[in-house]
Amino acid sequence: GAVVSQHPSRVICKSGTSVKIECRSLDFQATTMFWYRQFPKQSLMLMATSNEGSKATYEQGVEKDKFLINHASLTLSTLTVTSAHPEDSSFYICSARAGLRTGGTEAFFGQGTRLTVV
Amino acid sequence: AQSVTQLDSQVPVFEEAPVELRCNYSSSVSVYLFWYVQYPNQGLQLLLKYLSGSTLVKGINGFEAEFNKSQTSFHLRKPSVHISDTAEYFCAVSPLMNSGYSTLTFGKGTMLLVSP
């Protein structure tokens, strides 16, 4: 399957600072990227969907000013957690999907980022 | 809207025993169905998927699942598990759309615990 690389895998930051998480599709062009949040022992919660070159669509209850998503190229999307607080500590996972015309009917997942805000 | 129910939050099993992880879904439209596996502190890996055709789907690592439309189920099975199968397993659905896959709705996950 295709490879999606997410970086960093772990990050610890101080409360009030911002953290950027990168999601790259290494061997395909990702028309659409998805950002999920996963709480301990729970399922994945979709935060937002981004299409290359467009503004991200956020799910209800997700603060767009707090979780900034940029999908500036077909291989890179970034999630920036602004002014992070301890309650933002979580496991964040991205997934990427190619365009339908290039056979993109499956989403591939990154390895996740463990964010700890102290 | 779609919803996915994984009836068991945890399934303990001995090595080399068979296992079934249950998944039921609800949807007003036709769906694609998936099973993913997640190892600790890692992302999700696709085990198998049902799009159309044969209702028995074979995936990686010896897993298989059967789509039952009348029971709206997509249970995952393996005839003989290994210690290395210990992980969290997620069932997911996606509504059929002309533009391809839509977003995935996940179940809450089932932790498979394989002991010697």
What local confidence, expressed as pLDDT, does residue B2 receive?
85
When pLDDT is averaged across residues B25-47 and rounded to a whole number, the result is: 90
Mean pLDDT, to the nearest integer, of B40-44?
85
Nearest to B107 among A43, A97, A105 (CB): A43
Q: What would the pLDDT profile of A44-67 be if each residue is shown by its tens digit?
A: 899 999 988 888 999 999 999 999
Q: How confident is the model at residue B72 (pLDDT cuts 50, 70, 90)?
A: very high
Identify the pLDDT of residue A107. 80
- Determine the pLDDT at residue B98: 59
CB pair distance less than 8 Å for B101 and A105: yes
Q: Determine the average pLDDT of the residues in B71-88.
A: 97
Average pLDDT, rounded, for chain B = 91
Taking an 8 Å cut-off on Cβ atoms, the answer to whether B100 and A4 are in contact is no
A42/B43 Cβ within 8 A:
no
Q: Is the dihedral of CA A2, B1, A93, A39 positive or negative?
A: negative
Q: Are strands A10-13 and A113-117 parallel, antiparallel or unpaired?
A: parallel
Beta carbons of A46 and B44 less than 8 Å apart: no
Q: Is A88 helix (H, G, I), strand (E, B) or coil?
A: helix
The b-or-e profile of A5-25 (16+ CB within 10 A means b, else e) is ebeeeebebeeeeebebbbbb
Q: Give B88-109 pLDDT, tens digit per residue.
A: 999 999 887 655 556 788 999 9
Average pLDDT over residues B26-50: 90
Report the alpha-carbon distance of residue A108 to residue A50 in Å, rounded: 15
pLDDT at B99: 56
Does B42 contact A at CB distance below 8 Å?
yes
B48 to chain A: nearest residue by CA?
Answer: A106
Which of the residues B9, B42, B60 would you substitute to probe the A interface, choosing the one with the greatest number of A C-beta atoms within 10 Å? B42
pLDDT at residue A100 in the model: 55
Does residue B90 sit at the A interface (CB-CB below 8 Å)? yes
In whole angstroms, give the CA distance from residue B104 to residue B80: 29
Q: Which of A10-14, A102-106, B5-9, B37-41 has the lowest mean pLDDT?
A: A102-106
Cα distances (Å, whole numbers) of residue B112 to A88, B10, B21, B41: 28, 6, 8, 16
A–B CB contacts, 8 A cutoff, strictly below? 50
How far apart CA B10 and CA A50 sit, in angstroms, is: 33
What average pLDDT score do residues A19-24 get? 96
Round to whole Å and give the CA distance between B62 and B80. 8
